[in-house]
Structure 1
Amino acid sequence: MTSRVRDALSAALIALACLLVPFGALAAWAAYGLTDTGRYVTAMAPLAADPAVRDSVADAVAGEVDGPVRPLVRSLTRTRAFGTAWDAGNQAVHEAVLRAVRDGGHHEVTVDIAPIAARVEHRAVLPRTEVAVLPASALDRLRKGYDVLEVAGFWLPVTAAALAAAGITVAACRRRALTATALGTALGGALLGLAVAVGRHLTLTDLPDPVRRPAAGAVYDALTGTLRTVSWLLVAVGLTVALSCWLTGRYGSPRGRRGSAAPVPDPAQQPTRAQA
């Protein structure tokens, strides 16, 4: 295989690997981050102190159980025990949705908030404690996406790593291939960060109620915090590796050093002048 063919094949493999980087990171985040109840509850816990989230929770609960209890529910969200109830509620909702996604049924997902409300000080008697959290139609769409993520969350990152390794291996100049892979990884991280920002804008714009946008934005930021960190990490690691490869190639060999002395010719290889 000629050097030109090897470089062309290497470029194709590396380009495909770098293209899969943001998709692999996104799929892995959704498959292993959003579906983990403990991580989900931990990410959502700080939102218990967000005023917009508190008001949105009060409106949602009061709208489900009984409208006139809204002032009471809103006052309960200001108590210290609301943080405990918030964590318990997120855990109950997450576990209920996961259970419904995995059991294969077609039904509305509901959560009984009575045990959660019992943890709040100055508890009130609610006329109805079953709260709907996910309609049956949305559950079907979520189940299809969950099945895809279970496969993509593992295989996309593995495939990207394998393609990158193969591209570097077959390259005629492996340092140059490694530099290209590093720069492509950094670009993939930047695109991932851009996708998160665009997704936030589109999510908030599509909300029918502008009043709930601050709460929705806080929830979006909490859920995508890990994804933003991963995007910055990919950019930092990619640029660091690329810079290291460039410095190694420029200063690591005698040819790349400035001011290096010219090679001294071997006297044995010089032609002998004919004596007159």
Structure 2
Amino acid sequence: MRTFLSAVLVVLVALLVPLSVVAYWADRELGDADRYTAAMSPLAENPAVRQVVVTQAGRALAGQIDAGPFQGGIESLLGEALHSFTGTPAYRTAWDAANRAAHAAFLKALTTGEGDALTIDLAPIVEQVKGELVGDGVPLADRIPVSHITVKVMEYDNLGALRRGFRMLQIAGIWLPVLTLVLAAAAVAVAARRRRALISVGAGLAVGAGLLWLAVRICRGLTLDDLPPDVDRPAAAAVYDALTAFLRTTTWAVLGLGLAVVLAAWLTGRLRRTP
């Protein structure tokens, strides 16, 4: 009976590992503005994301300037200015500010039910580019309006379900990992053969890490396959990978911990048998 109970607890540990990590990630990573901005900040250097910013901002700006026969030249200058600007520290600062504002809007949508998409406002970037063009004496640059040009990062059809799910993950964010550790300790404590149970717990942690890795990979494929045709897939993939970096890192950490527990318990048994 003790062996059976210990086995059940080990299975629960394996199943709770991915849920615990996802809950903690939703609460402490997605729910925190500083961590969210830090996760998205490296995307300022990503070529695919930079190209999307240049393309979207260039189209919007070119459509708001009527330069007559010089339209082609103005559009070319805008494109060059945007490309040049995305390699400057000022762009990275504007990118972080835009992502912080996007995070605040996302949390507001989750709490108030307003909005149907997570977007990044490029207005800070446009303002910086306009200032550089005016400073360089580019004709008609002073006519560029600093409008709110947005890039859609994520669209959500059922905001009510998303809000409830996110709220549940936030509540479980700290308690679910604690419960998983308690069940792992209980699996060893109730077992008739505790060293063997410890090996099982380590294996359960490794299996749970494998389930988490598989879930992240499957969700990545489903997310990218469900994108509208006009969304840049490399840029979307970069955003997904940036947001789930914590999950992937934690997967390897839990896998390493599980294998270390298995190895330590096995070596302890071998040493005890050595005369």
TM-score of the superposed pair, with normalisation by structure 2: 0.79
Partner in structure 2 of residue 269 of structure 1: none
Partner in structure 1 of residue 220 of structure 2: 200
Partner in structure 2 of residue 244 of structure 1: 264
Deviation at 1:194, TM superposition (A): 2.1
Deviation at 1:135, TM superposition (A): 6.9
Q: 2:84 aligns with which of 78, 83, 89?
A: 78
Q: 2:13 aligns with which of 12, 17, 21?
A: 17
Letter in 1 for 2:267: L
For residues 197 and 135 of structure 1, the distance between their equivalents in structure 2, rounded to whole angstroms, comes to 20
Deviation at 1:21, TM superposition (A): 0.6
Letter in 2 for 1:117: V
Map 1:163-182 onto structure 2 (within 5 A): 163-182=183-202
Q: 5+ unaligned residues in a row in structure 2: which ranges?
A: 65-74, 135-140
- Post-superposition Cα deviations, 1:112-151, rounded to whole Å, max 9, x if no partner, equal 6544533443376237326485778554343222212112
- Post-superposition Cα deviations, 1:234-262, rounded to whole Å, max 9, x if no partner, equal 111110111110010111x2xx12xx4xx
Inter-CA distance 147–58: structure 2 relative to 1 (3 Å threshold): same
Inter-CA distance 95–209: structure 2 relative to 1 (3 Å threshold): same
Map 1:39-118 onto structure 2 (within 5 A): 39-61=35-57, 65=60, 68=63, 72=78, 75-79=81-85, 80=88, 81-102=90-111, 104-107=112-115, 113-118=122-127
For residues 201 and 144 of structure 1, the distance between their equivalents in structure 2, rounded to whole angstroms, comes to 24
- Post-superposition Cα deviations, 1:35-80, rounded to whole Å, max 9, x if no partner, equal 11111111111211222101222344466x5663686367425311
Q: 2:133 aligns with which of 106, 119, 122?
A: 122
For residues 200 and 91 of structure 1, the distance between their equivalents in structure 2, rounded to whole angstroms, comes to 23
Q: 5+ unaligned residues in a row in structure 1: which ranges?
A: 261-276
Inter-CA distance 185–135: structure 2 relative to 1 (3 Å threshold): closer
Inter-CA distance 100–211: structure 2 relative to 1 (3 Å threshold): closer
The answer on whether the counterparts of 1:108 and 1:132 sit within 8 Å (CA) in structure 2 is no
Aligned-residue CA RMSD in angstroms? 2.8
1:122 aligned counterpart, secondary structure: helix
Q: Quick check: which has more Rg, 1 or 2? A: 1
For residues 206 and 180 of structure 2, the distance between their equivalents in structure 1, rounded to whole angstroms, comes to 14
Inter-CA distance 149–78: structure 2 relative to 1 (3 Å threshold): farther
Letter in 1 for 2:84: R
- Post-superposition Cα deviations, 1:198-232, rounded to whole Å, max 9, x if no partner, equal 22222222223276111111111111111111000
Inter-CA distance 139–131: structure 2 relative to 1 (3 Å threshold): farther
Higher RCO by CA contacts (8 Å cutoff, separation 6 or greater)? 2
The answer on whether the counterparts of 1:85 and 1:117 sit within 8 Å (CA) in structure 2 is no
